Structure 1
């Protein structure tokens, strides 16, 4: 055999050996990753079961809110072992994005179009002006761009899900994400009794009160609770208006992605986000499937249970990151911005309702 032939044979054998090692090493790596995630995922599963169980006995209280509070109480009452962190982080990011995508199965484009163009314009104004106004107020308060953006989108679009979606695009600090989620819980919960009481004081009809609730309150679950408290036709209207705000998540995330890509430029060392995040595309695909009428009712009902479970697990994981010490450390400015944003978004929604009516 010639030297060249011998070398070629050796290289071929070496490459085959590398491929064999690589293929045999894939399964152990997968098993190791699974074992690393398992403790945190198991805790999230237990918390999800508890939260959804309580939610069945207390229909006016959302499992998502129960999960956030449960996670926050647990993490501040006891020291959670470090081995739980990988599973909690996986739930707070990956499971949340799948849950957001499945949230699209709750949206019927015909229902949103049925609101009328006047209300649709109001919804767009709530989201756009809400974000712009909150960003401006946060700048005056001296908060970072990412902290302002997390609060602005969380309060203007769809609460903790929007906060997590923004984090997936701009890669904010964990402390900022946790703060924004905590503020969504606190101020959104305060809105549940406030909107029905103010609606009665202002003499709004059930329909107008439902429009205001859907246009002003942060979380979908919080909107449902407030709409149920108002009664009458308020709940259905509030839910549809809120879901219209949720639909605005897609264009907002697309705009943010374009901005981040421009900032990254051509620098190979800077990770450039996709033009449209994958979970946003999945969300839009689910909206399209739901609107097509092709999916059977039974499948939609099961998908809603899965979506609720995924978001509940993610909310518990996010709540588990809320430390009182961290909230104290960030100071009063994020709380001030959250209060300003809540009033600002509610005011835009109320003016829009009065004008549309």
Structure 2
């Protein structure tokens, strides 16, 4: 049985009071089942609509459920949904490490690895500066910067583990990652064709610029009938490899800024689930994990993330949506163009060398 601390009945967005439903003391099971059902529905919808991310569908389903007549049910099941939105999300991030073998990344060559590193560092730096200029709050712009520069929802969740951002900020970031990354699936292959890029070069650009691993798979499949898919995914995983050091740096900065948690404790420098991510990377790099296990882990990871996205979506009420504003959307637009531009310049530079 999970008990929850008392929550304030109201909080403010832009100075206006907004009612917040208080979590019941129901068991976690029913809420977890609802999150699982939401994930299943999202996968079914994604199969009917090829090219649509199940994560995006899951978020939208969660928002719809929370803002209809089913809202009282969501409130009663909030303990289980809270577990799904936090713990299932972090388990999914940890399992992402099984997709990454260090030898595969090093096999790209130092030039391509350098491009991936520059994309992450410059992408985060430029996005943070833009977000500051736009007036986006620090936790929100940090989530967007890391999510768009590293690996989408997984990176946003990892950073949330050390800065303790509000749920609204995490949900907004994940939704923007999914929407903008999905838009890049057809745009990158189209732009690569217009620029006359060779398939191999286009694959490196896709892996270095698109937000989510699943989105890179979709775009890579569209390039030369999927013949360069492995290149695109491996380049993307080179960016994923930088998740742990980036989060460690963010953890140190968060402590120095005094960005503590709501319970008064300091944020961890490296959260436990990120240690799990590194352990999974190490396990995969030994060569002991079979392709069947890797594929199964990827499926489980996606299901867990979809369930978490649905649960996060149920925390978004109309009042919260009204408080988002245009600034995060503007930052997401700039971050997408900025990361894609850095990646293209790096790919062309390495190709010309």
Alignment of 1:1-357 (within 5 A): 35-55=26-46, 60-81=51-72, 82-230=75-223, 231-264=225-258, 270-323=264-317, 325-357=319-351
Structure 1 residues not aligned, in runs of 5+: 1-26
Question: Number of matched residues?
Answer: 327
- Kindly provide the CA deviation profile for residues 161-216 of structure 1, in whole angstroms up to 9, marking residues without a partner as x: 21121111101122222221221122112212211111111111111111111111
Structure 2 residue matching 1:330: 3-state secondary structure: coil
2: distance between equivalents of 1:217 and 1:66?
Answer: 19
Structure 2 length-normalised TM: 0.85
Shift of 1:275: 3.0
1: distance between equivalents of 2:231 and 2:111?
Answer: 14
Quickly say closer, same or farther: Cα 1:121–1:57, change in 2 above 3 A.
same
2: distance between equivalents of 1:47 and 1:265?
Answer: 33
Structure 2 residues not aligned, in runs of 5+: 5-23
Quickly say closer, same or farther: Cα 1:28–1:198, change in 2 above 3 A.
closer
Quickly say closer, same or farther: Cα 1:305–1:79, change in 2 above 3 A.
same
2: distance between equivalents of 1:203 and 1:326?
Answer: 44
Shift of 1:159: 1.1
**Counterpart in 2 of 1:4?**
none
Quickly say closer, same or farther: Cα 1:75–1:226, change in 2 above 3 A.
farther
Structure 1 residue matching 2:43: 3-state secondary structure: helix
Shift of 1:51: 2.8
**Pairwise CA RMSD of aligned residues?**
2.5
Structure 1 residue matching 2:71: 3-state secondary structure: coil
CA contact (8 A) 2:56 2:179 kept: no
2: distance between equivalents of 1:58 and 1:316?
Answer: 18
Shift of 1:150: 0.9
Quickly say closer, same or farther: Cα 1:167–1:78, change in 2 above 3 A.
farther
Quickly say closer, same or farther: Cα 1:189–1:271, change in 2 above 3 A.
same
Structure 1 length-normalised TM: 0.84
CA contact (8 A) 1:264 1:271 kept: no
2: distance between equivalents of 1:176 and 1:49?
Answer: 25
Of the structure 1 ranges 250-259 and 226-235, higher mean CA displacement relative to structure 2 is found in 226-235
Of the structure 1 ranges 301-310 and 341-350, higher mean CA displacement relative to structure 2 is found in 301-310
Of the structure 1 ranges 153-162 and 42-51, higher mean CA displacement relative to structure 2 is found in 42-51
Quickly say closer, same or farther: Cα 1:319–1:196, change in 2 above 3 A.
farther
Per residue, is there more helix in 1 or in 2?
Answer: 1
Shift of 1:301: 3.4
Shift of 1:259: 2.0
Shift of 1:229: 2.0
- Kindly provide the CA deviation profile for residues 232-280 of structure 1, in whole angstroms up to 9, marking residues without a partner as x: 43322111111111111100111111223334499xx841223321111
1: distance between equivalents of 2:206 and 2:253?
Answer: 31
